[in-house]
Amino acid sequence: MPAHTPVVEIRDLSISFAGKSVLSGLDLTVDRGHIYALLGGNGAGKSTTLSALLGFVRPTAGDVRVAGLTPWADPERARAQLAYLPENVALYDHLTAVENVDYLLSLSGRRQPASAIADALRAAGLQEAAWSQRLSGFSKGMRQKVAIALALMREVPLLLLDEPTSGLDPGASADFHALLQPVRARGTAVLMVTHDLLGAVEIADRIGVLDHGRIVYEAERRDFDLRTLHAHFAGRERAA
């Protein structure tokens, strides 16, 4: 993929289910080394956008590219270009943090030595004493750190995050955002679906507000204005 090509390219995307429009003319791009925060209320189309990127749904119209690949046309190759962290991370409670990372890497064909796993868990901020503990006793924040360590080791062009700070306290949310800095620094593109406006302002390079299946407001970091973003997110601008 050429360096100047966006990692995520969504052009005029429309998706309908049972005749009901969910996405309508959606345009969205995410470049290498950038974090895009996609805000929107329930039913705005956030989950459907992620499903399209994962190749789980076909569009009614429009185009989607992940690292230059069309997800539903070549799902295996397209999914190999990304790491997906759902709101509730699917890890194995009976395995330790190290065992989870090792096993899940082996499933993706990217097995790494123990020293590399230790480096990733350390970079993710998980205390060394927890590395050999089973995940059944982990908090949600600790599980997120294991998932981030795994994502760091995947070394893929795109990281998809679905409500990554849901259920976390403010301190754990800030820690999570800090974990995204090395991901961004190495050139990975991050698309983060979230309800957390303040968190998005803290970490994102660009914020888009999704409503009724399309981006109704978008701003770059240099233009972030919390009052304006909140008005669009709450729907007051559209109601005026």
Q: Dihedrals φ, ψ of 122, to 5°?
A: -65, -45
Amino acid at residue number 94 = H
DSSP state at residue 188: -
Q: At 5, is the pLDDT very low, low, confident or very high (cuts 50, 70, 90)? A: confident
What integer pLDDT is reported at residue 1 of this predicted model? Answer: 58
In this predicted structure, the answer to whether residue 76 has a pLDDT above a threshold of 80 is yes
CA distance 60 to 50: 16
Q: At 3, is the pLDDT very low, low, confident or very high (cuts 50, 70, 90)? A: low
What integer pLDDT is reported at residue 63 of this predicted model? Answer: 95
What integer pLDDT is reported at residue 239 of this predicted model? Answer: 42
pLDDT tens-digit profile of 186-197?
899 999 999 889
CA distance 48 to 51: 5
Closest by CA to 180, choosing from 221, 149, 210, is: 149
In this predicted structure, the answer to whether residue 12 has a pLDDT above a threshold of 50 is yes
Q: 158-162 and 189-194 as β-strands: parallel, antiparallel, unpaired? A: parallel
In this predicted structure, the answer to whether residue 118 has a pLDDT above a threshold of 90 is yes
Taking residues 171-192, report their average pLDDT. 86
What integer pLDDT is reported at residue 55 of this predicted model? Answer: 93
Query: CB of 54 within 8 A of CB of 80?
Result: no
In this predicted structure, the answer to whether residue 4 has a pLDDT above a threshold of 80 is no
Q: Which residue has the tokens 């789980």?
A: 56
Q: Which residue has the tokens 């790491």?
A: 83
Q: What is the pTM of this model?
A: 0.86
Q: At 159, is the pLDDT very low, low, confident or very high (cuts 50, 70, 90)? A: very high
Taking residues 154-182, report their average pLDDT. 83
In this predicted structure, the answer to whether residue 172 has a pLDDT above a threshold of 80 is no
Q: pLDDT: is 210 or 85 the higher one? A: 210
CA distance 115 to 132: 14
In this predicted structure, the answer to whether residue 240 has a pLDDT above a threshold of 70 is no
CA distance 109 to 92: 18
What integer pLDDT is reported at residue 2 of this predicted model? Answer: 57
Q: Dihedrals φ, ψ of 209, to 5°?
A: -105, 120
In this predicted structure, the answer to whether residue 68 has a pLDDT above a threshold of 60 is yes
Mean residue pLDDT of the chain comes to 89
Q: pLDDT: is 98 or 19 the higher one? A: 98
Q: pLDDT: is 29 or 227 the higher one? A: 29
